[in-house]
Structure 1
Amino acid sequence: MTASDRDRDRSGRPRNARPRDAYGRPLPYGAEGVPTMPDELELGSEETIGEAQRLLDADRPFHAHEVLEARWKACPEEERPLWRGLAQLAVGVTHLRRGNERGAQALFSRACAVLGAYTGPRHGLDVPGIIRGVKERRELRLR
């Protein structure tokens, strides 16, 4: 079995077969990694928000991104920008944790633009407050 066979399901879609560290970096096959989220994860909006927040609080932004991405793929079309923007924020934090400041700032900018244009259901989230918080933290990092 080749590495590419292990990383794809029968239909050819990628899966999370390779072990990863706490920030989602791939580890060698056979290494002990941090468990990732299942590919078929299906959570409702409130469950997604709760789980993503729990993971962020535990300093596992890569895993929070996976939860948000799963919701993004399963949600109604009108909500996709919300979940995409939130997933981008989690990836931005992941990049910060990995030491990639430039990549983090690019993702934060993209996420704020997506979330700023979003007019759909917010599921109790203070989207303008999230954007303000990201921009304030970005300004602090740039000083």
Structure 2
Amino acid sequence: MQITIKDLQDLLSSVQRKKIQTLKLKKNKFELILNKPSKKVPQEVVSLKSSHIFKSIHSETINIPPKKTESINSKPSTNYATIVSPMVGTFYHSPAPGEKIFVQVGDIVKCNQTVCIIEAMKLMNEIEAEIEGIIIEILVKNGDIVDCGQALMKVET
């Protein structure tokens, strides 16, 4: 993968427009870490696969605030990670209508386990968990439009 100055400029511009605080991009021996310090909001780390970043930079974005749909308990957990969308698209919790959903609140997920699908430009992209833990909250509903970097699920670690 060849990264040009134009790609980096587009990436920086995209990060500035989004609510992303930290972005880490690692491909083979290349590693890029972008930090956007904020006094008001605690830093949230967003890790995206490089193949998804450059596809989403040139996509149109629709900013729709995430909706809280399910929660395993009323007490907020302090030890959780967030699974984020690596692209703009439509969130689906199952491979097809009427089929078994990938994960529910309370399910244990393992690394590289598919947790949902994001449809972008008629392509179904499986989103995998990058951590192990228990799904404590699903932040979007089936069929919702999600933005690049938007939180999809909270996983208690």
Structure with the higher fraction of residues in strand conformation: 2
Normalising by structure 2, we get a TM-score of: 0.22
Structure with the higher fraction of residues in helix conformation: 1
Higher relative contact order (CA 8 A, sep 6+): 2
